[in-house]
Structure formats: structure tokens, C-alpha cells
Chain A
Amino acid sequence: MKADVGAALAPTAAKQFLREAFQPKIWRVAEYVVIPALALAVSLGLFGIFVALFGKNPLDLYYYMYLGAFGTWFSWQNTLIRAAPLILTALCTALPAQLGMVIIGGEGALLIGALTATGMALAISAAPPLVVQISMACAGMIGGGLWIMLSGALRHYRGVNETISSLLLVYIALAILNFLVEGPMRDPTSLNKPSTRNIGAANMIGNIPGTEVHWGLVFGVIAAVLSYILIYYTVFGFAARVAGGNLRAAKVVGLSVGKLILVTCFLAGAAAGLAGMMEVAAVQGAANANLAAGYGFTGILVAFLARQNPLAVIPVAVLLGGIGASDGLLQRRLDMPDASVLVLQGVIFLVVLASDSMYGRFGWFKRKAS
């Protein structure tokens, strides 16, 4: 041991030591990029075969998918608009995952966040727009946060499985949304499509200058970066990862696991609630059934594809947003049903999970510096 340290201190040996310390790490990171990329390629291949079975040309499929997602400035903007809520709903799964919890109720938190934000905006609609917008964001985050915190609390205090409870809460949130939108909060002038009153054009959140992309994207990226810092560079994040790695060890060293679970679940729900607020304040202008567009469910896929890493969530959300954005073109040009995107997402999810067994199998990624 002593000899090793001594050798590392010598100038040439120090370089060698550094190389040995870091090069394997780079290769390990490469593994986390290459395997998901391969999984994605395999899924696209499988989907191509599936589509070919229905008499469509897979090459056309890939071309239109590229064109609809990233081919033009217009489609890029469409992609980014869809990526914004996906980043936030993916955080709803990725944050509790650090604690070893599988939360899949982002859709419910999004709906509740949208409802509380709309309620707040309608209650104080006379206030200056900036005040309304900030209050909406706070209301949405608190609403969504408490919703997912409920799942966390049930898990911690009653041992209720958080995956099942968070999914049940999605259906309960949907019933609440339908009840409020068709009942007490309904705008009497919305005849065919029940909806709440509009929050007012002045209170809407605008677009990033020079684009059609609303500010939600920026908030999403900020939330992802903050989550990354929280998890990897703070004591709280360290404690959460310890508890996620070994719950017993965390209890033995005196971490208050309950507090970790509740706070993490609140933050996770707050992210999804913010997504709901954005959908109201930047896209819909009111709360209605359009809000349940499945962003919460696609967010689960984004989180798993990003391997629950908040920074990796950003590019993956853009990718999945692109797949969603290409949907319209696929329907128009290839006459494919709107569920095609769901099938592709399902295939990607399955292949990515199957690829979990590939990590550490290839000696190639473990190659030594020498």
C-alpha cells in the first residue's frame, strides 16, 4: 500500500496514476451512453419491422420521424414545446428513484398542479400578471408536491407500495379534474368541451424571444440542473442516495429516512405540478380534459431511459418530445394511427429495460489504461 502511494507521488508515476484513476471512469460513462443508444436503435429497428408488417415502408417511417422531430426549425420548436413538460414529469420519477422508490404518478401531480394553478389564477385574476404567474407556479408546485408526498407518506407511515398508490392517485386526480371542470369550476360558455374560465391573455406565460417555444422549457432545464446539484452535490442528496442504496445502513447511521422520503416526494410532485401549471399558463389557457395528454406517463419512460439521472433527463426528454412531435406527420403522410407513438414508446421502454442486463457484461468498457 505504502509503495503504491510512493510511486504515485513520483512525477511520471503520478500521470500513470491519474490515467488509471480516470480513464476507466470515462469508459464507464461511455457504457451508460452506448448501451441506451444501442437499445434505442434496436427499438427503432423493431418498430420498423412492426410497421413493415402493416405494409408501410420503414425507411419512409424513419425519414418522416426525423423530419417531424428535428428536420425543420418548425419541428424543432414543436419538439421543444413537448420536451418542456416531459423534463418536469420525468423528474417526478427520477427524484424518488434516488431513494429506491418507483413513483409513476406524475400524470396525477400534473393534473392537480394544473387545477390548483388555475384556481389560483382565477381567484386573483385582477392582480398584476407577474404576481398572478408567480402565485400560479407556487400553487401548482404545492398542489402537485402534496399529491406525490401523499404517496411517500403512505409508504413511510403505512408501508403502502408507492408504485400502486401513485398510480391509483392518477385516476383519482382525473376524477377530480372531470368533476371540477364539468361541475363547480365550469365556464358556462364552454358548451361542447367543458372547461374552466380562461386565466386571461395577460396572465399567460410568453414565448422565449424569437421562438414559438414557451418559457416552460427554461424552467424545466433549471429544475433538472437544480435536481442534479441537489442529488450529487449536497448533503441531502448524499443522504438520499445512501438511503436508496441501503435503507438499513441509512437508519443505522441515524438518517431520518421519513424526512428524506417526504421532502423528495414533495419536490418530485412539485416538478410535475409545475408542468401542469405550464400547460395551463402557456398552452391551454384554462383547465380542461386536454391536460391529461399522457405527459406524466411518457415522463416515466424518459426517467428510465435517462437512468434516473436528472441531467440526462434533458436530452432524453427532447428525444421523446421529438417522437411525439413527429406523430402528426406520420398520421398525415403515412396514414398511421395516432397510437403509433405509444407503440414505439412501449417498445423503447421494454428494450431499454431488457438492456439493463447488459451493463458490466462487455470487457470492452472495462479496458485498462495500459
Chain B
Amino acid sequence: MADAAGIGLWTVPLAVLGGAMRVSTPFLFVSLGECITERSGRINLGLEGTLVMGAMSGYGVSYLTGSPWLGVLAAGVAGSAMGALHASICGLPRVNDIAVGIALMLFGTGLAFYLGKPLIEPSAAMLPSIDFGWWSSIPDVRAALHINVLFLIGVALAPILVWGLRTTKWGLIVRTVGESADAARAMGYSVNHVRLGATTFGGFLAGVGGSFLSLFYPGSWNEGLSSGQGITAVALVIFARWNPMLCLWASLLFGGAAALGPALQSVGMTEGYQLFNAAPYILTLLIMIATCSPKRTLIGAPAELSITK
């Protein structure tokens, strides 16, 4: 790598830093959405499928209309539909939300591959990014500091969601349903309706996260686009203790881990980089091993959540 010679070994940490901001965006959106869904006492494992659906529909609409932002919106709508589907099936009596999530994972990826077949060839309009690296003359620094607008929106969204959950009426209702469905029912709120809303909102954000994959980085539509980002993000919510702000930091950490493989590849490492591609998953597992415990319920866990009960 001739152009990397100027900053030598700093290429890798710089690429990881830039990658962290780039790669973390889907993690961030999916985990923020899932955070709200789980605070209402239900887990949606199907966000992997939602992410792929969002990527496909975002890419398709951007290609057809020429406007990437309409694509982002379409991705959100497709994600909401997937979320609403999850919630309405889970609303039936005696249906397990984890199983429905697995089914939606398969359904979402299948449907996206089916509908996305004609989209593999054409190229769609991409999302714009803001150049924060104008002050530097080193191309690597500039490349790392090309920051997408969606990432900034996600960063802004995290504190807003914390505030919304803590202080607004809606936040209180969602938390009540998640902590004690009986209490919510006694207050006259429909548990199913609140969870429908929370899951639909979660699906919307996951869909938007998917559109980032196809419309910015890696920035194309193909069937290998998402490999487990959705499910990693679900695990990340547990690590982040159901707190949107912690979701942000955790997403950055995971983004950095996921950027490690491509960064090493770019400096000419040709062997063993496949193992670094597994870094985010290994990191997730290690973090879950370190933070979970068989003896006590996790701090901050919504009491109605099936996986921590």
C-alpha cells in the first residue's frame, strides 16, 4: 500500500476508528429500536430479517426515485411492517416471541432476496456524507472522517430516547408494560397495543439501519450484505442494559471490532483476516459471558422480558 506509507502503522487504528463510525451505524439503529421493543417486555429476534428487508427496499426505492432519503423512508416503512407483523402474531395467545423472531428472520431474508433479485445489477443514488477531514492532507485521515448523516442522526437519537423513556408519558407507559403487564392492564392500557407500537417503532429503526448498509457502506445491494449484524445488535442491547445511551457506546465498540478485518486486509494482510471477521461475534459472546449470571436477573432488565425471566 504505497499511499499508506505516509502514516505507516497508524493506518490500522485510523481505519478502525473511521470504520467504527461507519460500521457502527446499523448496529446503533437496530439496537436503539430493539431497546425500545425490549423495554415494552418483548424481544424481536427477527431484526436480522428486518435489516435485510430495509437494505433491499431502501436500495430499490432510491434506485427508482433517485432520492436516497426516500429510500431511507421506504426502508423504515418496510421495517415497521415487519415489526407490526411480529407484534400481531405475538399478540395471539400462547405464541412464543422468540420463535416468531426466528421465523421473521428467515421470512425477511427470503423476501428481501426474492424482491431484490433485479436490484443486484443497477446502482442506486447513495446517501451523502459530511467531510470532517477537510483540514488534513492525508487521504487516510480524510477517508476515515467522511461521516454519514445517518450516523449523526443515530447519535442524536440516543439521548432523545433516554429522555423520552424517562420523562414522557409514552415512555412511562412503555416501561410500565415492560415491568408489569398486570399493572398496565389495571391502569387501562392494552398491553398488546403498546407492544405493537414499540415493536413497530423498533422495526422502523432497524429498517433505517438496513438502508445504511445498502445506501452508504458497503453501499450496494447483494445477498451477503448483512451477516448477523441484526442478531449481534439484539445481543448488544442486553450488554447495554436496555439503556439507549449505552447502546451508542456499545455500537461504536462493535463497529470498531467489525472494522478490524477489512482494516487488516487493506494493509496487505492476506491470511487469517477471515478470523478477524468473526471478531464482533466473539466479542459479543465474551461480553455476554462476562456480564450475564445464572444467579440473578440482570440489572435494568424489563421484568416481563422472556429471555431474562
The answer to whether B93 and A168 have CB atoms under 8 Å apart is no
The answer to whether B95 and A353 have CB atoms under 8 Å apart is yes
- Interface residues in B231-289 by Cβ distance below 8 A to A read 231-232, 234-235, 238, 271-272, 274-275, 277-278, 281-282, 284-285, 288-289
- Confirm or deny: B202 has a beta carbon within 8 angstroms of a beta carbon on chain A: no
- Confirm or deny: B123 has a beta carbon within 8 angstroms of a beta carbon on chain A: no
Give chain A's interface residue range (CB within 8 Å of chain B): 35 or more
Contact of B274 among A104, A168, A179 (CB under 8 A): A179
In the complex, which residues of chain B have a beta carbon less than 8 angstroms from the beta carbon of A165?
Answer: 285, 288
In the complex, which residues of chain A have a beta carbon less than 8 angstroms from the beta carbon of B108?
Answer: 346
For B93, the closest partner residue in chain A by CB is A357
In the complex, which residues of chain A have a beta carbon less than 8 angstroms from the beta carbon of B285?
Answer: 154, 160, 165, 168-169, 172
Binds B, one of A57-65, A135-143, A276-284, A336-344: A336-344
Main secondary structure on A side of the interface with B: helix
For B101, the closest partner residue in chain A by CB is A163
The answer to whether B228 and A167 have CB atoms under 8 Å apart is yes
In the complex, which residues of chain A have a beta carbon less than 8 angstroms from the beta carbon of B289?
Answer: 154, 158, 160
The answer to whether A304 and B110 have CB atoms under 8 Å apart is no
In the complex, which residues of chain B have a beta carbon less than 8 angstroms from the beta carbon of A17?
Answer: none
The answer to whether B92 and A357 have CB atoms under 8 Å apart is yes
Binds A, one of B59-67, B73-81, B111-119: B111-119
For A297, the closest partner residue in chain B by CB is B106
Q: In the complex the two chains form, what is the Cα distance from A336 to B113 in whole Å? A: 12
The answer to whether A357 and B94 have CB atoms under 8 Å apart is yes
Q: In the complex the two chains form, what is the Cα distance from A227 to B95 in whole Å? A: 26
Given A168-B235, A342-B106, residue A163 in contact with residue B45 (CB < 8 A): yes
Contact with A along B153-165 (1 / 0, CB 8 A): 0000000000000
- Interface residues in B83-128 by Cβ distance below 8 A to A read 85, 89, 92-96, 98-100, 102-104, 106-111, 113-114, 117
- In whole Å, how far is A237's beta carbon from the nearest beta carbon of chain B? 22
The answer to whether B95 and A357 have CB atoms under 8 Å apart is yes
- Interface residues in A171-197 by Cβ distance below 8 A to B read 171-172, 174-176, 178-179, 182-183
The answer to whether A157 and B228 have CB atoms under 8 Å apart is no
Q: In the complex the two chains form, what is the Cα distance from A316 to B45 in whole Å? A: 24
Given A165-B285, A175-B274, residue A159 in contact with residue B110 (CB < 8 A): no
- Confirm or deny: A164 has a beta carbon within 8 angstroms of a beta carbon on chain B: yes
The answer to whether A354 and B238 have CB atoms under 8 Å apart is no
For A343, the closest partner residue in chain B by CB is B110
In the complex, which residues of chain A have a beta carbon less than 8 angstroms from the beta carbon of B288?
Answer: 154, 158, 160-161, 164-165
In the complex, which residues of chain B have a beta carbon less than 8 angstroms from the beta carbon of A170?
Answer: 228
- In whole Å, how far is B169's beta carbon from the nearest beta carbon of chain A? 31
- Confirm or deny: B152 has a beta carbon within 8 angstroms of a beta carbon on chain A: no
In the complex, which residues of chain A have a beta carbon less than 8 angstroms from the beta carbon of B281?
Answer: 168-169, 171-172, 175
| A residues apposed to B, CB below 8 Å | 102, 104, 154, 156-161, 163-165, 167-172, 174-176, 178-179, 182-183, 297, 300-301, 304, 337-347, 349-350, 352-354, 356-357, 359
